[in-house]
Structures are given as C-alpha cells and as structure tokens.
Amino acid sequence: MSTLSADSQRSLKTTTQERPAGLEIVLLKRTYVLPWNQFLYAEGGDDEIRVAFTTHDVVVKGGGLSSLLADLAAQRIARLQKPTRADSFSNGTGPLIRELSVTNIESNRNDK
C-alpha cells in the first residue's frame, strides 16, 4: 500500500496492486470495515465527499478531496482515518481529511 495524503501519513491509504476487500474507516472510538462489494457510489467535490454503501453512508470533509473520487470508484482506497485535532489543521498539498463520519442507513430508516 502507498500513502496518498501528504498531510497525515495515517489519514488515507490507497493500493496500486490488488483491490482491497474492504474499506477500513478508523474513527477516534470505533473502527468500521465496509466490504467493497456493498459499495454503491461516491459523490462530492473538493470540500466534501459522500461514499454510499448498502448499509452505511460515509461522509468525508476536508480539502482537495475531489481527487479521491476516481480512487473510490476504482475501489483502490483501503483505509480512511479521522485525524487527530492537530492533524486536521495541517497546511499541505493534496487531499486533507478534517472530518470523517459513518451513519448506519438502517437506523435512519427506522427513525422516520
């Protein structure tokens, strides 16, 4: 695996070899592993991207994120990690993740 984020070596990992089986999302108190075979689509722009799976929605906020859409569509991203407070204020080039959240779709449907 190679690291794509210039600001935080741990925030984002992509692979150029074989496609990873799932996307690991590391939050401060919880880790999710969502299988790529449940990936539906990704949308967004430079400041926010939404990644939709059949069971969960992932929202990534930051800067320079539009370059991630092609990697998400090709399912080359292996890991997204919520940055520590200090890492979220880094000034660098390339994609910068400032916020990362995961929402269970089933609980949203039951609430309505």
Tokens 């929605």, residue located: 57
Domain that holds residue 67: 2-111
pLDDT of residue 4: 39
Query: Which residues does the chain have with pLDDT short of 70?
Result: 1-17, 85-93, 107-112
pLDDT of residue 23: 95
Q: Residue 9 CB: number of other CB atoms within 10 A?
A: 12
Instruction: Give SS3 for 94.
Output: coil
Pairing of strands 77-81, 22-26: parallel
- For the record, the structure tokens of 88 come out as 């979220």
pLDDT of residue 9: 44
pLDDT digit string (tens) for 2-31? 333 333 445 666 655 677 899 999 999 999
Q: How many domains does the chain have?
A: 1
- Return d(Cα 48, Cα 56) in angstroms, integer: 17
- For the record, the structure tokens of 82 come out as 């919520």
pLDDT of residue 111: 54
